[in-house]
Structure 1
Amino acid sequence: MRVGLIGCVKTKRATPGPAMDLYLSALFNGRRKAVEASCDSWFILSAKHGLLQPTEIIEPYDLALTSLSRTQQELWSQNVVQSLVASLGDLNGFIFEIHAGSEYRNFGVIDGLQRLGATVINPTVGLTFGEQLRFYRSSVVMLDMPTHLSPSRLGGSLHADVDRFYRSLAELSDAVGGARALSRCTGRMEWPVRGVYFIFEPDEMRADGVTQRVVRVGTHALGASSSTLWGRISQHRGVPGGSTPGGGNHRGSVFRRHVGSAILASGDWPSSIAATWGVGNNATQETKKMEYPLEVAVSQRIGEMSVICLPINDPPSRASLRGIVERGAIGLLSRATRESLDTPSLTWLGRSSDRESIRSSGLWNVNHTDDDYDNTFFDHLDELVNQTVQRH
């Protein structure tokens, strides 16, 4: 009998669910597809829980095996081997295929299995992070597609292009340590000086029901501006403290303005706020005070979202790579929504937007949503993601 063991990853869904669907990572997905294709059964190696059945329901957690002492890692390894015996019985003659980092293998798991008569195989031993991703992509690329996008059902290149886009984002996410919750973002974190950001909402999923759907793509300083990527993101996030804690300035963030307009349309808000929201580039203190409750609601909504940034440190220019990637991604994702490939959930707030471009594109974007995408933008995207992977 051949049994797969795959290591967990840092990036996880925000809500409880089956262990096999909790982890959001191109690396984890590659490992999972590999063992589903080659093994009779498989388990997940969790830093917190030890051995997990794929269907076991667990809460999200934040614990890395590397944060444990050597003694703790050895005890963890002993527990994993004991759990395998409890689940499978006599392991003599079993073949275990391990897809996990050295911390999951080298503190007693391999030795323990071999002492019990099992054979242990590690197909990616010695490979770098980037090499592992390429290994899984080349060996299970067709299996890695969601069932509804299997080759026999591909209606055209759009399906393959959207999958390619999300695979690139998954690689980027793995390289940078996962998406960051906007409510927890601070200027003390490490941010690229310039780049493109991709925003996700917790309950907005692709048609596969597993992958989070991008809901906004953006950049900054394409013209003569000295703004930084963090500066732009912090404008969207709002103000955590100061004299207006939890508020923000929607007149300095078109993203906030659109989210606020949708909140206005979907709730019972005073007409006085609706009359001034989004009007002008500035407002009196009296108006800002009146609008403050809605600014707080906007900050809370955006704070629930998460962001991944792609570093692209090129000079401000309409022809910059940042602009190419932003326009290409928006055009691709908008078309995917219009052709019903990845559509917003029925409860997506953007459905209440007063902007048709937001409602029809499934994105909190109004520019470039009617543009067609140029396939060549993938060449730039793939190269930029690869550069980020290599740096990490």
Structure 2
Amino acid sequence: MKNIKIATIPGDGIGKEVVPAATEVLKAVSEVHGGLAFDFTDFPYSCEYYLEHGDMMPEDGLERLKDFDSIFLGAVGNVNLVPDHISLWGLLIKIRREFEQVINIRPAKVMSGVQSPLVNPNDFDLIVVRENSEGEYSSVGGRIYRGEDEIAIQNGIFSRKGTERAMRFAFELASNRKKHVTSATKSNGIYHSMPFWDEVFKDVSKDYPDITTDSQHIDALAAFFVTHPEKFDVIVASNLFGDILTDLGAGIMGSVGIAPAANINVNGKYPSMFEPVHGSAPDIIGKGIANPIGQIWTAKMMLDHFGEEELGTVLLDVIESTTHDRILTPDIGGKHTTREVTDEIIKRLKAK
């Protein structure tokens, strides 16, 4: 029996509704298919925790998390209580950086029964590999002067090690998919970092002769996500560009509520973290209509990470059979509750 220790951090808002739903689904997976068990430990780190303690997590919070096999996160943020730069840098980004979760991966595909806003989505199925540790989201920079002379400086940091690492991850991923990698760049406008990015991409591609490549400027690439998403397989992007593209990917699927994500530690020193793309959605807290699919699809990605790809495929198939039969929450055109969607997925898992 493989026992996987998971630290669950429901966090804020609807995270407290969808994380329990997804853990129920994972328990059903282990009950039905055997050979796999999950040991969940809940942590209350959140904006409410911050209001009580002055920090998003205790001083030894990372020490408490580091020996788990993975972290299952719900949502972070409640701008009405805590400014975003405090909540995100005190919890989500802190975990990503300190646990060396240097790769972020987010898939987007046509989901049966979910209406894409695109007239002809053409069964797109793509995945964005985002460099997750540096780039435009570095903390290097500062502000000087005041008033009309005030200056803010934000430095983008692109190391060869970090850039190449993300690109190799993308190529390895593409080798088990449609064998194509697209690089997101902007070397016609960003003078130093993007020509460097292009050079590293060209160098790395030489080691993967069986994989075709292309390079697209980010503005054109964003347009192609809307006009021809079916042409893409794996896209590798910097921290900022990947962040933007993945929200766009969620949008063309039909709702940010169904989009999953994984923050991957590649050296095995620390746990990886799995989270849906949606935020805390304060407008629907407590209404029982939060879409659990993003969190449940995130659980599928966690299964894949642990080498349980077959179980992950079963879970995604069950999710799609549920959406195909129009058992949907209101954000994707349905009338069902969080509870009803979760129960239906569990029922279909047990019937497999």
TM-score range, shorter chain: under 0.3
TM-score normalised over the length of structure 1 = 0.23
TM-score normalised over the length of structure 2 = 0.25
Select the structure of larger CA radius of gyration: 1
Greater length-normalized contact order (CA 8 Å, ≥ 6 residues apart): 2
Q: More strand per residue: 1 or 2?
A: 2
